[in-house]
Structures are given as C-alpha cells and as structure tokens.
Structure 1
C-alpha cells in the first residue's frame, strides 16, 4: 500500500519539465539527471564525469520476492578531434540483495547492469547557421513563445558496443561484446524548454536484443541555476520489458559543477520498481574557440577587421601623408 501511495505521488510530481544545455557553452553540458542523451557533444577537449548514487526497491509478485539495490551510475565523456564528435563510456554497477519469501532464502547479485562504450556524432544542427539563431529585436513574444520551426531537431548518431565481462548474473549467456546503435534528437522549444528523444537498439546479435526509447522534457527557471525535468523511458526485449517515469531537479553550483536528484518508478508488478538517484556532473574544460581567418570572418568575427578594410585604411593614411608633403 505504501509503495502505491509513493508511486501516485511520484506520478503527480512528474508533470514538471526539465532543463538541458543545447550545445557547448561556458556552462557545463550534462546528460544528467535522467537517462536521455543530448544530441550535442561536450565540446572538443572537454573531459566530463557524470556520476549518480542509486537506491532501488523491487517487489516481484510473480516470484514472490523482495529486493534492495544499491549502486552507481557513471559516464565519462570526452570531446574528440572536433566539436561534433564525442566518445562516451557509461555504466551502472549494482549490488542486489533478493529475498525469496516462499523459499525463505536470500541471494546476492553484483555486477554491471549497464556497461558500454561508443561514439556520438552530430550530423545535423539547425542552429549551425547564426542567422537562424538571431533574436527578434522588435518582439519579446517572438523570442519567448513556441514556434513551429523550433520543432526542427539537432540529430546525432551513436555507434558502440555493450560489454558483458565474466559471469554476469544479470545477462547470463550473453557474449562478451555486442553492438549497440542509437539516434538522439534535441529541439529547443523555447529559451526555457528543451525536448530530447533517443531510440536505441542494443545487444544486437544476442538471444535477447533490446529496443529502447527515452523522451525527456526540460525547463529552466528564471534563476538559471535551477532546473527540473520529466522523462519517460521504455524497454522491449524477451528478457525484460518495462516503462519507467522519472522526475527531478538539478542545481548549477558553478560553470563546471552541477548536482541533481530524481525519483523514478514503473507501473507493473513483475517487478514493481521505485528508485532514487543523487548525482553530480563535473567537467575539466580545455576547450578553445577556433579562430577564423580574417578573410573568412563575418561581421568582424573575433573582433578583427577584414583584410580589405585594413588595406583601405592604409591607403587612406598613405594618401593623407602624400597630400601633406605636396602641400
């Protein structure tokens, strides 16, 4: 009964959106909280760690068992070679203590429930052209309300592998390495709302391939240090299928450090799941803006003058000097 009440409360709380940064900025761009992955990379030469401490309670009506899970989520991200490419190692390591009520026995399972490495590449960015991102100087409303063009998303592709090392009790019989592919999209609905969606196909070629999705809506408050989110995630596999709902809050302590907390639950009883996650994100920013050649700059980019303008100014000065000498 208590678990049902908590779930209903969580369901109400979940109707609150969440915030995510759209691309590399002076502020950390984290995939936390939640599991939906941004379409954008962290930025060239940026090293970023995202970690969460997990507690979960599971009750399985079909097996008449109860279990408590303690673990950690982690993600190490690095902007590789250029702005649109990122390498990402992510995983979840858990310890699950299971009590089988009918048998009166206990069992402990410890291993990775998620362990993968991959590359993400941004193939389309609707804001790549600065002209598409200019504010309307004559209308506050035009800059702050939803417009249909805002639905056009940035799109990235992911390719990697899931690793199953040793005798993993959560994935018995799976090979050591299996391919994983995914697509991530991101739309900035307004300056304060961002919509992210992911579709992934994991453990390809195994006896239990897994198709999953995640849809996340974000919102930043007027105080940009605070943000909230709602996320729906689903899995489809012969081994395990489920739908999860998450909601939580994040706080930005400084441009390189963010903390977050969220609750989540599913809506079935085999197993019934409810979990809480406390996390943080920290980056070491070695990113440097790319300098554009003067002749290729637009409108005095990098604060410099075009070559042609500089030549004209020199000619004017030379002419003035010549006129003074002639006089």
Structure 2
C-alpha cells in the first residue's frame, strides 16, 4: 500500500501551473477537508487542540500543506493525545490533494490520498471532496472516504456533511454531521463553530461538538504566501 501512495504522489506532482488566491482556504474548523488547494508556492499550517469531556483527554494537532500548483498540493499532519497535552501519537499522515475539476462556477471536486504511519493499524485513506454553493454566503462541502489496510482490506468508510454561512468577508459559522459506516457504524456525530479572518493569511476558529460525549476545540490557520505577495 505504501508503494501505491508513492506512485500516486509522483504521478500527480507533474501538475505545475497555478494562481494565488487572495484569502486562505483552510480545513479548519470542523472535520471536513476543503475542496480548494492552498495555491502555488504557498505553505500553510493548520494547528489546534481538542478536548474530549468523556475522557478528559487533550488532542493537540497540526496539519501542514504546501501547494505546487492551484490543482495540486502535498500535506502532512499529526494528532497527539493525553491528559497533559502530549504522550501518545494518535496519527501521523503524509498525503496529497488534487483538484479534479471546476464543475461550474458554483461547484468543485477534489481527491485526497493519505497514508497514516502513526495509527495502531497503518492504513491508507482515499477521500472524495465535493463543494457547492447556494449563494455567495452559503455553501456546503461533502467528504466521502474509504479506509484501506496494508493488505488491501477495506477497514471502514467515512462521511462528513458541512454547511457554512459567511456572516461577512471576515467571519462565518458552520455546522456539520460526520461518522463512519461499512464495517463499523458510529452514532450520529455533529459539531458547529465559528471562524474569524484576522487578515487574508491568518484565521482563528472555535468549535463544539458531540462524539460519544461533548468535545471542544480551538485553532489557528497561518498561511505563508509567495514572496511576491504582501500580507494584507
């Protein structure tokens, strides 16, 4: 399975043309992956911490993204766990995201492939991402993923349904449902939250949700644009 991931990354790394987007595109807050790429020569960090009331565990997490083009990026992330912000490595992934198409002015689709070296059972996850807008202020994102073990068995599948509303050009609200199906089914999980753009390259966020008990989270997204682009 590791060879499959490596070949995939090498094939799509040949995509080289891109444009720079004025405002950052973050996977935070929430569970849904964004359908958008970060942009050519853009490095972006998405960091946060979640707290689960049922276990009193903290889950510090960071996700790093680098864009080779408007259509292709590589990414990597980790999740830690513990009662004192550290201890166990829950997940360590390396992957890539590719923009499949701009279906029309309102919708896009992309695909994310990643391999988790840190999970108890090493696995590959392939996720299809679809985004569409009802209006300039209201849009939704759908994630459908499949989790495959190193011996090519299907471990599970996941879904995320995210609805986001922009209050203005700096802040917005979201609500989403997420869970798993196929080999194991999770109860209906959900979360909701708020994001605020300090400027085009820095975003803050908070959320609250239900996943076998209440959980809370907060984080920041920080984008480093190409040198030719100035912070606004």
Instruction: Tell me what 1:286 maps to.
Output: 226
CA deviations over 1:263-317 (Å, ceiling 9, x no partner): 0103xxxxx321100111000001769xxxxxxxxxxxxxxxxxxxxxxxxxxxx
Query: Aligned to 2:33, which of 30, 37, 52?
Result: 37
Is structure 2 residue 1 aligned with structure 1 residue 47?
no
CA contact (8 A) 1:208 1:239 kept: no
| Contact preservation (8 Å) 1:159, 1:182 | yes
240 and 208 in structure 1: CA distance in 2 versus 1, 3 angstrom threshold: farther
* Contact kept in structure 1, 2:131 and 2:140, CA below 8 Å: yes
> Number of residues paired by the alignment?
209
1:116 is displaced (CA, Å) by: 1.3
Structure 1's 189 and 114: CA in aligned 2 closer, same or farther, altered over 3 A? farther
Q: Contact (CA 8 Å) 1:262, 1:278: kept in 2 or not?
A: yes
Deviations 1:130-150 (A, max 9, x none): xxx5xxxxxxxxxxxxxxxx4
How far residue 242 of structure 1 moved from its aligned partner, in angstroms, is 3.8
Q: TM-score of the superposition, structure 2-length normalised?
A: 0.81
Aligned in 2, Cα 1:287/1:190: closer, same or farther, shift over 3 Å? Answer: farther
Which of 56, 62, 66 aligns to 1:74? It is 62
Q: How far does the alpha carbon of each residue in 1:243-280 deviate from its partner, in whole angstroms, 9 at most, with x for none?
A: 320101011111111100000103xxxxx321100111
Q: Point out where structure 1 has 5 or more consecutive residues left out of the alignment.
A: 1-22, 59-66, 98-108, 128-132, 134-149, 267-271, 290-327
Distance (Å, rounded) in 2 between the aligned partners of 1:178 and 1:189: 35
Q: CA deviation at 1:110?
A: 3.8
Corresponding residue of 1:231: 176
Return the alpha-carbon distance in structure 1 between the equivalents of residues 163 and 20 of structure 2.
19
Q: Say what the alpha-carbon RMSD is for the aligned residues.
A: 2.5
Structure 2 gaps of 5+ residues are: 1-18
Distance 2:40 2:161 in 1: 26
Structure richer in helix, relative to its length: 1
Cα drift, residue 114 of structure 1: 2.9
Give the Cα–Cα distance (whole angstroms) in 2 for the partners of residues 55 and 24 of structure 1.
35
Return the structure number with greater strand share.
Answer: 2
The two structures have a TM-score, normalised by structure 1, of: 0.59
Alpha-carbon distance between aligned partners in 1 of 2:184 and 2:130, rounded to the nearest angstrom: 27
The separation in 2 between residues aligned to 1:96 and 1:163, in whole angstroms, is 23
Matches within 5 A, 1:170-189: 171=120, 174=121, 177-189=122-134
